[in-house]
Structure 1
Amino acid sequence: MTTDQDIVQAFAPTGKLRASINLGNPILAHRTAEGSAGGVSVDLATALAAQLDVPLELVVVDAAGKSVDVVAAEDADIGFFAIDPKRSASIAFTEPYVLIEGYYLVREDSPVQSNADVDSAGTRVVVGKGSAYDLYLTRELKLAEIVHAPTSPTVVKTFLEGDYDVAAGVKQQLEADIAGMTGMRLLGERFMVIRQAMGVSKSRGDKAAAFLARFVEDMKASGRVSEALRDHGIRGATVAPLA
């Protein structure tokens, strides 16, 4: 891709590319041993900054909702989010680059045996506030009660401390959180596919959105996304098909 100065100005009006990085999604980002942010989203942000020939600045947050907010408020220039209709009011999304799965977690002795059992009166489902699966389940569940944990990484803690019925989240996060515990089980099927994409504020214009969309397709086609997943030891996530 060639990069004209209008595009550079649209993405980096401060002279830097400010990328919002959500540490609440372990598939995409994590805290390194040195204390900085690393992961698939950081690798892609680094590649985009190189394409634009500008320095990269990471705006690190701990929850998906906060990541959306900083990009919508233009306190960051790009972000990495799950696609959701509610977020589309302010964010122009690319097609997804990674697909991950949302699962339910229950106690071993729970009467909840399948996804269909979750949406029942009196069932309390813990979700990470502002997460993609929060937005999705808030629309889809008609009878169950949604309970908000502050962030996705605190879902299992909230679930256990509050003696709630179901925890919902990214499969790998749930598995990591219950590692070494007994008396817990994931239900046998996903409740949603979470489509992880890049996004830019719609205020940056159609040319910026189109440029970012092409960038993501190039990253998938060139193998950079699969390479990043491999480099960071991510399992259970797949590269999204080319648009």
Structure 2
Amino acid sequence: MKADPQLIAAFAPTGTLRASINVGNRVLAGIKPDAAQPYGVSVDLSVALAAHLGVPVELLVVDAAAKSVQAVAEEHADVGFFAIDPLREVDIAFTAAYVLIEGSYLVRDDSSITRNDQVDRLNNRIAVGEGSAYDLYLTRELRHASLVRVATSAEVVATFLQHNLEVAASVRQQLQYDVKPGLRVLDGRFMIIRQAMGIPKCRGEAATNFLRDFVEEMKRSGFVEQALIRHGVFGASVAPGTLDDEPKIRNPPP
């Protein structure tokens, strides 16, 4: 892949590719307290895309998906990494997914809830990260339970405990990281979250198609899979190519 000057200008009008990196999703990225820069598959993809374009990269670090979406939609960032959702497609053009992850529920050990299909019941309150993919999905799908929204996914379990809520919902990896004695993550999933790259729609069809081809190349070459392994991400799967069948979530923890 090689970009022409017009394409480069569409991706990086400032001369630098500004990538929004959400460290609130442990599958995509993280940042260590003593480090200046984040790490993760989204960081690696940002660096690779900038190299393909022949421009430097600047990482805009945020702690929630909604902030990442806003940064790209308002063109404070040139590309971002977030789950595909119809509400986000108003201002953002998405690639196909590059990673599939699970949305899961957490409850207390003494909860009567043992299956995902028992969550959507009257009087069940579910803590979610505001504007996250699973918040948007559950807002559409729930008929009886109610949502309690918190600023970031990292605060979901703490809010669930503090306010004595019935359920916490998040990315499975975040719940497994936050689980404490007396809590359990339900088996299975309530949704598959399709993580993709996105670009402001106003950047044009040529830039969108280039980004889509870039993501397919990164999947096909093994780049995404190796990045997940390198950063110790388990329980996620490289998304299928656009012409492939969808796989099940794989790469379980050791």
Q: TM-score range by the shorter chain?
A: over 0.9
* TM-score, structure 1 normalization: 0.98
The alignment partner of 2:69 has SS state of helix
The Cα offsets for residues 128-154 of structure 1, whole Å up to 9 and x where unpaired, read as 001000000000001111100110111
The alignment partner of 1:120 has SS state of coil
Q: Which 4+ runs in 1 deviate beyond 4 A?
A: none
- The match for 2:31 is 31
Q: CA deviation at 1:194?
A: 0.4
- The match for 2:218 is 219
Counterparts of 2:148 and 2:106 in 1: how far apart (Å)? 14
The amino acid of 2:207's aligned partner reads A
Aligned residue pair count: 241
Larger displacement relative to structure 2 (65-74 or 25-34): 25-34
The alignment partner of 1:121 has SS state of coil
1:194 aligned onto 2:174: no
Show the 5 A alignment for 1:134-153.
134-153=135-154
The amino acid of 1:57's aligned partner reads E
Q: CA deviation at 1:17?
A: 0.1
The Cα offsets for residues 86-118 of structure 1, whole Å up to 9 and x where unpaired, read as 101111000000000010000011111211111
The Cα offsets for residues 48-93 of structure 1, whole Å up to 9 and x where unpaired, read as 0000000100111000000000000000000000001110111100
Cα RMSD for the two superposed structures:
0.8
- The match for 2:20 is 20
Show the 5 A alignment for 1:64-213.
64-178=65-179, 181-213=180-212
The amino acid of 2:27's aligned partner reads I
Is the Cα–Cα contact under 8 Å of residues 97 and 196 in structure 2 kept in the other structure?
A: yes
The amino acid of 1:183's aligned partner reads G
Counterparts of 1:139 and 1:111 in 2: how far apart (Å)? 25
- The match for 2:10 is 10
Counterparts of 2:187 and 2:226 in 1: how far apart (Å)? 29
The amino acid of 1:25's aligned partner reads N
> Unpaired segments of 5 or more residues in structure 2?
243-254
Counterparts of 2:205 and 2:143 in 1: how far apart (Å)? 37
Is the Cα–Cα contact under 8 Å of residues 95 and 215 in structure 2 kept in the other structure?
A: yes
Counterparts of 1:12 and 1:96 in 2: how far apart (Å)? 22
The amino acid of 1:203's aligned partner reads C
Q: CA deviation at 1:35?
A: 3.2
Is the Cα–Cα contact under 8 Å of residues 2 and 53 in structure 2 kept in the other structure?
A: no
Counterparts of 1:115 and 1:227 in 2: how far apart (Å)? 32
The alignment partner of 2:232 has SS state of coil
Counterparts of 1:209 and 1:240 in 2: how far apart (Å)? 19
> Unpaired segments of 5 or more residues in structure 1?
none
Counterparts of 1:31 and 1:129 in 2: how far apart (Å)? 21
Aligned-residue sequence identity (percent) comes to: 58
The alignment partner of 1:31 has SS state of coil
